[in-house]
Amino acid sequence: MAVIHHTTLRPTKLELLTSWLPTRPWYRGGPGDPVLVKSGGFRLDDPEGEVGIEFMVTTDTSAPEPTAYLVPLTYRGAPLDGREHALVGTMEHGVLGKRWAYDGCHDPVLVTQLLSLIGGTAEAMAQSVSDAPDREVTRSRTGEPFTAPAPAPEPTDDEHGTRLAGPHGTTLHLHRVLTPAPGDPSPARDAVGQVTGAWSAPDGTRPRAVFAHLTAAG
């Protein structure tokens, strides 16, 4: 079980993301810095209790039409070997000390737990409350049970988001730019599993969208 510490972070997560997001191929903003607000998300537990796993939704309000981004992050107490290119930045945590924040799509712990969530063997947890399930996150999976590939392959980023190889020839797609859908979003075309969630929009509504989906080989 992840314990949520309500303490200081220097720099903050949003400060790190302000400089990191514009370097991503799926970023939709203009030449200026984004103006980010934290809009929601959820957490997953690391069975070993070593890695913090957060799926943050942050909204860029710098343009007339705000854009919501899904940013999976992992937090570690030491650098992750071979993933220097995936480092978002380092922070000083008021309780835990120095923390290394990574783009979680490059972290095998996050990938394994996300696939476990889709497969039904992990549970989405509240973003800011210890030991509390997040009931707004829903998941589905068709077909036989599966386990995550080990080690996790390197993901591919493009203007559409992030994708990486999943188990049994599947492909895992992370929706980096969130597109609201009415009600609970229908499964993506060709999807054999998916995760949906909600966040708080600047206009006070609480939209829902597909956060990630799994497609079959072929």
Q: What is the pLDDT of residues 131-185, one digit of tens each?
A: 899 999 999 998 777 776 666 668 999 999 999 998 888 999 999 999 998 777 7
Q: Are 118 and 102 in contact (CB under 8 A)?
A: no
Average pLDDT, the chain: 89
Q: What is the DSSP code string of the chain? A: -PPPP---EES-HHHHHHHHGGGSTT----SSPP-EEEEEEEEE--TTS--EEEEEEEEE-SSSS-EEEEEEEEEESS--TT-GGGEEEEEEETTTEEEEEEEGGG-HHHHHHHHHHHHTSS--B-SSSTT-B-TT-EEEE-SS-----SSPPPPEEETTEEEEE-GGG-EEEE-SB---BSSSPPPPTTEEEEEEEE---TTS---EEEEEEEE---
Q: What is the pLDDT of residues 96-132, one digit of tens each?
A: 669 999 999 999 999 999 999 999 999 999 997 878 9
Decide the pairing of beta strands 161-165 and 171-174.
antiparallel
pTM of the model: 0.92
Asked if the model's pLDDT at residue 62 lies above 80, the reply is yes
What tokens appear for 126 in the block?
């509240």
**pLDDT value of position 109:** 94
17-31, 58-72, 89-103: which range is least confident on average?
89-103
